[in-house]
Amino acid sequence: MIKEVENPVLETHNLTVVYDRKPAIWNIDFTLPAGSIVGIMGPNGSGKSTLLKSIMGVVEPNSGYARLFNKPLDAVRKRVSYVPQRQSVDWDFPASVLDVVTMGRYPHLGLFRKLRSEDKEIVADSLEKVGMLAFANRQISQLSGGQQQRVFLARALAQQADLYLMDEPLVGVDAASEHAIIDLLKQMQASGKTIVVVHHDLYTASEYFDWLVLMNTRLVASAPLEEVFQEEMLRDAYGGQLTSMSKIAALLREKSFPMRHK
């Protein structure tokens, strides 16, 4: 079930990314409504992270495109904030909490412009919101998993964007941090932000999200929670009905077949 919305905050059109001849995401085509908390769900290796990366231009799509606020990414970069997977960076890197959160101002400052006092206030404010202000001068290597994730969220907050794309912000996070993070997301939603979260826990999905995108390399569903959260839909995403899909993917790879004619 794929539901289209009017004036989408995010729209992907036939987005396809191929790694080493194997499609990671394949013809992903959906629209997301503004002001919602969207969960992107699917089994391991179903391309959830790749989807976010290709939307953010971190990975070059092999075909298709994404539009944000009905514009190409380059025109609206400052309004979109990306939170990579926590494990994607080296937490032993010599930096303090403050250093990392300050990076959230870089989309506005670019490579060269100096930090203004206004930026510093925004950074402190963001740290306050995630409850990490007391840790501002702490080395990032000394943080727990939940604290690291909160630092990443503070960095995203510091960007003061309108759309947030978060890759597994709840993985490896203790229960207290998970609640704190969800509360924060709801607050952000209340102030009109749209939040897209890659998530893998089916049990909590119904509490957290109001729109779900189910995928398994291909898009399985994109619709309001109540409409998607049905057994057959989940089975399509997670279960065995897509075996022929993975067989085709394997075959493409094995035979070095061009997936696209371009």
Select from 173, 235, 240 the least CA-distant residue to 204. 173
| 8 A C-beta contact, residue 126 and residue 184 | no
Identify which range of 1-9, 109-117, 189-197, 254-262 contacts another protein by CB under 8 A. 109-117
Q: Does 56 bind another protein (CB under 8 A)?
A: yes
Amino acid identity of 100? Answer: V
Site for another protein in 138-177 (CB under 8 A): 139, 141, 155
Least CB distance from residue 207 to another protein, whole Å? 27
Least CB distance from residue 189 to another protein, whole Å? 21
* Residue from the set 48, 53, 67, 218 that interacts with another protein by CB under 8 A: 53
**What count of residues does the chain have?**
262
| 8 A C-beta contact, residue 48 and residue 40 | yes
Cβ-based nearer residue to another protein, 13 or 77: 77
| 8 A C-beta contact, residue 97 and residue 126 | no
| 8 A C-beta contact, residue 194 and residue 9 | yes
* Residue from the set 35, 43, 84, 131 that interacts with another protein by CB under 8 A: 84
Q: Does 192 bind another protein (CB under 8 A)?
A: no
Least CB distance from residue 58 to another protein, whole Å? 5
Q: Is 69 helix (H, G, I), strand (E, B) or coil?
A: coil
Least CB distance from residue 94 to another protein, whole Å? 5
* Measured CA angle at 184 (ends 122, 172), to 5 deg: 105
Q: Does 48 bind another protein (CB under 8 A)?
A: no
Q: Does 254 bind another protein (CB under 8 A)?
A: no
Cβ-based nearer residue to another protein, 111 or 175: 111
Q: How would you write 50-93 as a 3-class SS string? A: HHHHHHCCCCCCCEEEEEECCECHHHHHHHEEEECCHHHCCCCC
Q: Is the dihedral of CA 244, 248, 249, 250 positive or negative?
A: positive
Q: Does 131 bind another protein (CB under 8 A)?
A: no
Q: Which residue has the tokens 């604290």?
A: 147
Q: Is 16 helix (H, G, I), strand (E, B) or coil?
A: strand
Cβ-based nearer residue to another protein, 155 or 218: 155
* Residue from the set 14, 70, 90, 179 that interacts with another protein by CB under 8 A: 90
Q: List residues binding another protein (CB under 8 A).
A: 20, 53, 56-58, 74, 77, 80-82, 84, 88-90, 93-96, 100, 103, 106-107, 110-112, 139, 141, 155
